[in-house]
């Protein structure tokens, strides 16, 4: 395989970022914009030792779920990677993305639930972060070209709220009128969907500049929903968006939004989920998984501004939220007071350090909720959670790969994955949030066994169907994957002898997962089908 070589190939799946995978004599090429089961002509653009990249030249066979991107700059902009897929295909891709890492990294035999998607997957973002520049005397605003600092000019984004687009269009007019766009680095626009309030943050290179007051006045007059205009000074030379100095030019330093009856103050630097419609779905699922009765103590690690904590406080006895960012903790405390919640406490601490200290002091929690950054939880945090021995653990993740890594560790430390539920917070992109329910295993959940299913003695019933035949039957009829171990367990329950293996186990007390109920029913049906049980 060489660069610039032309090849013909068939796409056989996707990478984690939505590129099509084409294998040429076993060598994988990653092709942007190509969909599963499509075939066509490619040109190789980069060759590495074990994989390469190619560009799609011409399609010979087209996937029926392919659509024309609605955005005119979809190919140049790095924001939305899946606009060539129907929304149905996007959700299927995201489910498979999570399923792949659950099997490959977590090594768990767990069926991922269908992704919870949106009825209207456009204009869902409540935050716009838009670079501003001047190119050859012309004002440009928009988004960065993929892998570059070049701004792709636009005043309308299909995933930002219509109100954010309206603010952007007004600001462009003001830039052209007053000729001071060169002072600006970025515009940060936040839109509270329920209250309708809007915050505009001007991220600038200098605090004082010509026509500053006139621009504020005209902006607010044009869009009366604006309740806050904040100037943020950033003189750094790197890619950090927000500077440390702020000045309120109009209104308050925050706007207010609501989710599920709870009010939240949102400042310029507050973290707040960008999709409020799906935030309610995501946090509602987390609350459902906690299964709170009213007297539980819940620890919420990486709590941010306390959004999940306050959801939980409506049902729990006490919630303790842990967050290392001081401003976020202050916002969380203000939000709790705003909602009259006196059973929630916020602590400014590193999550790992707090969890370790609590476990060392013998502290216990009925439920632990974690919503870590993209890198996932570190080993100290996971060990400390296990030491606290909560009955239920709810893990909210923005990165399926690090989630799967942590689930693997937790499964080995006495927790069972019950449900893996993806939620589509970011339609049009390859990102997906996932909320997972884990429960603490009891002694009855594990058995000491010494099995090697390749060397089992066959009984008369055993000869009627092989393990592979049973697996195939279950897969075709129920779309479930079952392991040899699960089949063996159900055979024993049905009184079918599966033989004895005298090989010694590698550990003194091996923990063996038990077959889930839905898979047990499917395996029993297969045994009946092959007349191995009556």
Q: How far apart are CA 479 and CA 112, in angstroms?
A: 12
Cβ burial, residue 31 (10 Å; 0-12/13-18/19+): buried
- In sequence order, which residues have a C-beta less than 8 Å from that of residue 294 and are 6 or more positions away? 315, 316, 317
Angle formed at CA 447 by CA 445 and CA 453, multiple of 5 degrees: 120
User: Does an H or E element contain 336, and which?
Assistant: helix 326-338
Interhelix angle 351-360/379-388, rounded to 10 degrees, is 40
- In sequence order, which residues have a C-beta less than 8 Å from that of residue 113 and are 6 or more positions away? 95, 419, 420, 421, 422
Residue 452 neighbours by CB distance under 10 Å: 12
Q: How far apart are CA 532 and CA 534, in angstroms?
A: 7
Residue 120, token pair as written in the block: 């209207």
Contact 424, 95 (CB under 8 A): no
Q: How far apart are CA 78 and CA 83, in angstroms?
A: 11
- The residue annotated as part of the active site, out of 77, 348, 377, 398, is 398
User: Has 398 been annotated as catalytic?
Assistant: yes
- In sequence order, which residues have a C-beta less than 8 Å from that of residue 213 and are 6 or more positions away? none
CA nearest neighbour of 281 among 422, 437, 120: 422
For tokens 């799967």, name the residue.
404
Q: How far apart are CA 140 and CA 205, in angstroms?
A: 17
- In sequence order, which residues have a C-beta less than 8 Å from that of residue 8 and are 6 or more positions away? 39, 40, 41, 42, 60
CA atoms within 13 A on the CB side of 470: 29
DSSP secondary structure letter of residue 325? -
Cβ burial, residue 29 (10 Å; 0-12/13-18/19+): buried
Cross-strand bridge partners of residue 322: 301, 347
CA torsion sign for 150, 155, 160, 163 is positive
Angle formed at CA 160 by CA 154 and CA 162, multiple of 5 degrees: 90
Interhelix angle 379-388/400-412, rounded to 10 degrees, is 50
- In sequence order, which residues have a C-beta less than 8 Å from that of residue 458 and are 6 or more positions away? 499
Q: How far apart are CA 512 and CA 403, in angstroms?
A: 21
Catalytic residues: 398
């Amino acid at each position: 395989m060489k660069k610039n070589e032309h090849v013909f190939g068939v796409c056989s799946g996707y990478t984690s970022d939505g590129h099509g995978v084409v294998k040429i004599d076993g060598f994988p090429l990653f092709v942007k914009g190509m969909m599963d089961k499509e075939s066509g002509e490619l040109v190789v653009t980069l060759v590495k030792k074990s994989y390469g990249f190619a560009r799609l030249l011409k399609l010979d066979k087209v996937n029926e779920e392919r659509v024309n991107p609605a955005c005119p700059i979809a190919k140049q902009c790095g924001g939305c990677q899946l606009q060539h897929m129907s929304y149905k295909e996007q959700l299927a891709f995201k489910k498979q993305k999570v399923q792949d890492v659950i099997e490959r990294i977590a090594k768990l035999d767990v069926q991922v639930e269908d992704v919870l998607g949106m009825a209207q997957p456009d204009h869902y973002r409540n935050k716009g972060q838009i670079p501003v520049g001047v190119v050859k005397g012309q004002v440009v605003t928009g988004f960065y070209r993929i892998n570059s600092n070049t701004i792709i000019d636009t005043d309308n984004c299909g995933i930002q709220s219509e109100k954010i687009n309206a603010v952007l269009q007004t600001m462009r007019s003001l830039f052209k009128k007053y000729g001071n766009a060169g002072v600006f680095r970025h515009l940060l626009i936040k839109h509270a969907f329920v209250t309708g309030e809007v915050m505009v943050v001007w991220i600038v290179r200098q605090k004082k500049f010509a026509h500053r007051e006139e621009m504020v006045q005209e902006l607010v007059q044009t869009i009366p929903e604006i309740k806050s205009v904040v100037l943020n000074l950033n003189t750094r030379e790197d890619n950090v968006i927000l500077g440390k100095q702020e000045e309120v030019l109009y209104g308050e330093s925050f706007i207010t939004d609501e989710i599920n009856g709870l009010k939240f103050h949102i400042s310029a630097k507050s973290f707040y989920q960008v999709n409020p419609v799906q935030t309610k779905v995501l946090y509602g699922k987390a609350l459902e998984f906690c299964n709170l009765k009213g007297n539980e103590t819940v620890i919420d690690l990486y709590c941010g501004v306390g959004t999940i904590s306050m959801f939980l406080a409506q049902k729990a006895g006490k919630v303790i939220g842990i967050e290392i960012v001081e401003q976020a903790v202050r916002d969380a405390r203000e939000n709790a007071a705003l909602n009259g919640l006196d059973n929630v406490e916020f602590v400014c601490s590193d999550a790992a350090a707090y969890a370790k200290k609590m476990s060392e002091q013998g502290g216990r929690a009925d439920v632990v909720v974690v919503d870590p950054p993209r890198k996932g939880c570190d080993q100290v945090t996971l060990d400390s959670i296990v030491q606290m021995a909560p009955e239920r653990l709810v893990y909210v993740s923005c990165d399926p790969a690090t989630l799967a890594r942590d689930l693997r560790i937790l499964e080995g430390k006495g927790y069972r994955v019950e449900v893996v539920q993806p939620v589509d917070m970011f339609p049009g992109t390859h990102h997906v949030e996932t909320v997972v329910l884990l429960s603490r295993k009891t002694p009855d959940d594990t058995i000491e066994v010494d099995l090697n299913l390749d060397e089992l003695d066959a009984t008369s019933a055993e000869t009627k169907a092989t393990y592979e035949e049973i697996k195939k039957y279950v897969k075709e009829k129920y779309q479930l994957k079952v392991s040899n171990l699960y089949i063996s367990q159900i055979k024993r329950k049905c009184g079918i002898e599966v033989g004895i293996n005298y090989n010694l186990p590698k550990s003194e007390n091996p923990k063996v997962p038990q077959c889930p109920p839905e898979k047990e029913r499917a395996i029993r049906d297969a045994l009946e089908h092959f007349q191995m049980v009556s």
